[in-house]
Amino acid sequence: GIFTAPEQISTSSYDFIVVGAGTAGAVVASRLSENPSTTVLLIEAGGLDNGTDSAVLSIPFLAGQAIGTTFDWNYTTTSQDGLNGRTMPFPRGFVMGGSSSINNLVYSRGPSEDWDRIAATADDPSWSWDNIQPFIFRNERHVPAWNNRSDVGEYNPVVHGHGPLMSSLTSTPSELDHRVINMTTKFGQEYPFNLDLNSGWLQTTVGESARSSSSTAYLHPALNSRENLDLLLNTQVTKLTVTGAAEMNVNGVIVAQNETAVAFTFIATKEIILSAGAIGTPQILLLSGIGPSEELDKNGITTLVDSPDVGKNMQDQPIIFLQWEVNGTTLAPFLNDEDAISAVLEQYEQNKTGIAASNVLFNTIGFLRLPENSPLLEEYGDPSAGPHSAHFQFSFIDTFLQNINQVAPTTGDWITVSVVLQSPTSRGSVTLASNSAFDHPLIDPAFLTSAFDIGTVIEAVKSLQTLLTTSTWDGFIGPPFTGNLTTDAEIETFVRAAAVTLKHPVGTAAISSATQEGGVVGPNLQVKGVTGLRVVDASIFPFAVGGFPQAEVYIVAERASALIKETWNLS
Ligand SMILES: Cc1cc2nc3c(=O)[nH]c(=O)nc-3n(C[C@H](O)[C@H](O)[C@H](O)COP(=O)(O)OP(=O)(O)OC[C@H]3O[C@@H](n4cnc5c(N)ncnc54)[C@H](O)[C@@H]3O)c2cc1C
C-alpha cells in the first residue's frame, strides 16, 4: 500500500528496506517484491507523482519545468571558485521516481568503455559491458513516437530490450535535425554518425505520449498488483541503526517527517538498500557515522566506520549555451507565442497528440573527443574512459536557450548548441552542514577547477565554431548572439560567467575493489566496514559517466536487484 505518514504503518519489520523511491530505488523495490514471500518497505522523502499538479512531470514538452517547484529538493551549491565565486541551484527529484520524474528525458547508456572501466576499478569483470547486457535488455524497450513516424535507420532495434521503461525518438524532426544528420553524412570522417546514439538521433524516456520514469514504468505497476510492497511517502530517513560489536550490522532506519516530528524506527531482517541519490546517500551515511572521522567529529557525530571517501570524489558536468540566429524554421517563434503554446497543451489534454507529446526541442547530439595530439591530453593525460569515449558533448537545440546571465530575444529564429564537459578531472564533495538530516548538505561540484577542464571547454567551443563552418550550415547560420568569442581568454571569461550544472552528480559513494582501501562500496555494492547495507544509485559511479546518467543508473539498479536476489536465494 501507499502510506503518507509512518504512524499509518502497523508493522515495523520488513525483509528489505529501500531508502529513496527514485530512479534506482523504485527499480530495486519493484524487482525485490516480485517474490511474493518477500516484504519490502520503500521510503521516499517526496510525494506522489500522479496528483492534480503532476502535468509538469508527465508531459514531455514540459520536461525541465519541475525545477524549482515542490518536486525539487531545491538545493544550492557552495560558492564555485572556478565560476567567479557563483552559487547556483542544484536540482534533484523530490517525488516518486526521483530525478527520473523531473529530468530532461535523455536516454544514453554511454560508451562500452564506461562499463569496462567500472569493471576494472571494481576488479570485477561482471561489471563489464559484455556482462551487463542482460540488465540493459531487462530495463528498456524502444517504442514509436505518438504519431507512429517511421524511425527506421534512426536507431538500432537489435540493441533494445523488453523492459518496462519506454524510450523513443522525436515525433517531429526539425530542419536543424536534418542539417546535423546531413553533416554526419557529408563529413563522416570528422563527425561520424552512430545509428544508436553517441552521435546521432537522441533517444528520450517517452512512451505512449508521456514521460516514462522509474515510477511510471516500475513502481506504480508493482504497487497496483502486490501486497508485499509498501511505499511510505513524505518521510525522510534521518539515520541508520546498527547492531553487533565486532562486525557492525546495519539493521534499521530512523525516519521523521520534519525536524520536530516524532521519529519512528523500521527494521530490515535481510538488508537495507540506500538509493537516496548522489546527494542523499552520502548525507545519510555521514549522519549515521559512516564517513571521514574528522568531519563527523566536527558535527558531533560518533564515528562507526572511518570511511574517508564518503561524500568525496564528486564529479558533475558543467554546461554552457551558445546561440546563433538562423535563416530557417525553428521552434523559437512558437515558443515566444503564449497562445500557440496554450493551443498545443490544449491539444495534448484532449487526445495526447501534438508536439507536446514527444521530445521536440533537441533531437540530435554529438559526443566528441579532443584531437589525439592535443597538448591537453599530452600534459594532463586522458580522463575519459577510453579512446571511444567523449571529452565533450554538443546538443543541437531548436530554439534560444539562455545562459543565466543573458536575456532571450523575443523575435527571430534561433538555434542553441549546448557545450558540455563530458570527462571532467575536477572533483568536489558533499559534506554535512550540521548533524540535522533536515539541513541541506554542502554541495561543492568544484566546477572548472582544473587546467584540463577549462582548457577542454575552450577547445570544445572552438571545435563547435569550426563545425558550424562546414558547408552543411551554409545559408542557415547567422551571427552568434554572443558576438565573436575569438581568443582563448574571451572564451574562458564567457564560460566562467555562464557555466551551470548539467545535474549529473556521481561518485560520492564510489565503487572500488574488495581489497582496495579507498572507495565506499565493494564490487557487490555492499558498504565497506559494515554488513546489511548496500548503495544502489548514481553515487557508486567512480567517474562522471560517458553518456547520460539515468540509463546507467537503471542498469546498475537492475544488476543490483539480481545480486540481492542471488544473495538471499530469491527467484
Ligand atoms: C533537472 C534534471 C535533469 C536531468 N536530465 C537528465 C537527462 O536528460 N538524462 C539523464 O540521463 N540524466 C539526467 N539527469 C540526471 C539523472 O536524472 C540522475 O542522475 C538519476 O536520475 C539519478 O538517479 P538516482 O537513483 O541516483 O537518484 P534520484 O533519482 O535522484 O533518487 C533519489 C531519491 O531518494 C530520495 N531521497 C533522498 N534523500 C532521502 C532521504 N533522506 N529519505 C528518503 N528519501 C530520500 C529523493 O527524494 C529521490 O526520490 C537530470 C537530473 C535532473 C535533476
Query: What was the pLDDT predicted at 83?
Result: 98
Q: Show the DSSP H helices in 364-418 as ranges.
A: 375-380
Give residue-wise pLDDT tens across range 130-158.
999 999 999 999 999 999 999 999 999 99
Helices 129-139 and 549-567, packing angle to 10 deg: 100
Instruction: Give the model's pLDDT for residue 159.
Output: 93
DSSP characters over 112-139:
HHHHHHHHHHHT-GGGSHHHHHHHHHHH
Q: How confident is the model at residue 558 (pLDDT cuts 50, 70, 90)?
A: very high
Q: Known binder of ligand: residue 556?
A: no
Which pLDDT score is estimated for 374? Answer: 97
- pLDDT (average), residues 217-231: 98
* Percent of the chain topping pLDDT 70: 99
State which fold the 1-163+210-312+505-571 domain adopts. FAD/NAD(P)-binding domain (3.50.50)
Instruction: Determine the residue of 550, 555, 559 to mutate for testing ligand 1's pocket, defined as the one with the most ligand atoms within 8 A of the Cβ atom.
Output: 550
pLDDT at 527 over 90: yes
Query: How far apart are the C-alpha atoms of 137 and 159, rounded to whole Å?
Result: 8
- What integer is the mean pLDDT of 244-262? 91
Give mean pLDDT, residues 287-300: 97
- pLDDT band, very low/low/confident/very high, at 361 (cuts 50, 70, 90): very high
What pLDDT does 197 receive?
Answer: 72
Report pLDDT digits (tens) over 39-87: 999 999 999 999 999 999 999 999 999 999 999 999 999 999 999 999 9
Instruction: Say whether 393 counts as a known binding-site residue.
Output: no
Which residues' Cβ are closer than 6 Å to ligand 1? 19-25, 43-46, 67, 91-94, 98-100, 102-106, 236-237, 275-278, 280, 284, 503-504, 537-538, 548-551, 553
Residue appearing with cell numbers 547556483 = 88
C-alpha cell of residue 181: 544528420
Contact 165, 206 (CB under 8 A): no
Q: How far apart are CA 24 and CA 285, in angstroms?
A: 17
pLDDT score, position 246? 67
Q: pLDDT by residue (tens digit) across 309-353?
A: 999 999 999 999 999 999 999 999 999 999 999 999 999 999 999
Give start-end residues of each CATH 3.50.50.60 domain in the chain.
1-163+210-312+505-571
- Residue 197 labeled ligand binder: no
| Mean pLDDT to the nearest integer, 167-179 | 95
Mean pLDDT, residues 377-397 taken together: 97
Nearest protein Cα to ligand 1, atom 49: 98
Mean pLDDT score of the chain, rounded to an integer? Answer: 96
Q: According to the 3-state scheme, what is the secondary structure of 342-361? A: HHHHHHHHHHCCCHHHCCCC
Is the ipTM higher than 0.95? The answer is yes
pLDDT at 243 over 60: yes
CATH number of this structure's domain 169-202+318-423+449-498, picked from the four choices 3.40.50.300, 2.60.120.10, 3.30.560.10, 3.50.50.60: 3.30.560.10
Q: Grid cell 565565486 — which residue?
A: 85
**Which residues make up the CATH 3.30.560.10 domain(s) of the chain?**
169-202+318-423+449-498
How far is Cα 560 from Cα 537, in angstroms, rounded to an integer? 10
Q: What is the pLDDT of residue 188?
A: 87
The answer, yes or no, to whether residue 198 has pLDDT greater than 70, is no
Can you spell out the DSSP letters for 152-196? TTSS-GGG----SEEEB--SS--HHHHHHHHHHHHTTTTS---TT
pLDDT above 80 (res 434): yes
The dihedrals phi and psi of 364, each to the nearest 5 degrees, come to -135, 150
SS3 assignment, position 317: coil
In the reported structure, the alpha carbon of residue 23 is separated from the centroid of ligand 1 by a whole-number distance in angstroms of 6
Contact between residue 12 and residue 545 where contact means Cβ atoms under 8 Å apart: no
According to the 3-state scheme, what is the secondary structure of 527-551? ECCCECEEECCHHHCCCCCCCCHHH
Return the SS3 of 88.
coil
Q: What is the mean pLDDT of residues 402-421?
A: 97
Number of residues written out for the chain? 571
Q: Whose CA is nearest to atom 18 of ligand 1?
A: 550
What pairs with residue 166 in β-bridges? Answer: 141
Q: What angle do CA 163, 165, 166 make, to 5 degrees?
A: 105
Question: Ligand 1: which atom is nearest the Cα of residue 284?
Answer: 41
Mean pLDDT in residue range 515-531: 95
Helix 112-122 to helix 129-139 angle (10° resolution) is: 120
Q: What is the mean pLDDT of residues 443-460?
A: 98
Rounded to 5 degrees, what angle do the CA atoms 205, 211, 217 make?
80
* Count of beta carbons in the 10 Å neighbourhood of residue 98: 35
C-alpha cell at 497: 560567467
Ligand 1 mean position, distance from CA 98 (Å):
5
Q: At what angle do helices 488-498 and 451-467 cross, to 10 degrees?
A: 110
Residues whose CB falls within 8 Å of the CB of residue 346, separated by 6 or more in sequence, listed in order: none
**Ligand 1 midpoint to CA 320 (Å):** 21
Can you give the pTM of this predicted structure?
Answer: 0.98
Higher pLDDT, 184 or 489: 489
Rg (CA), the chain: 23
Residue 517, pLDDT score: 87
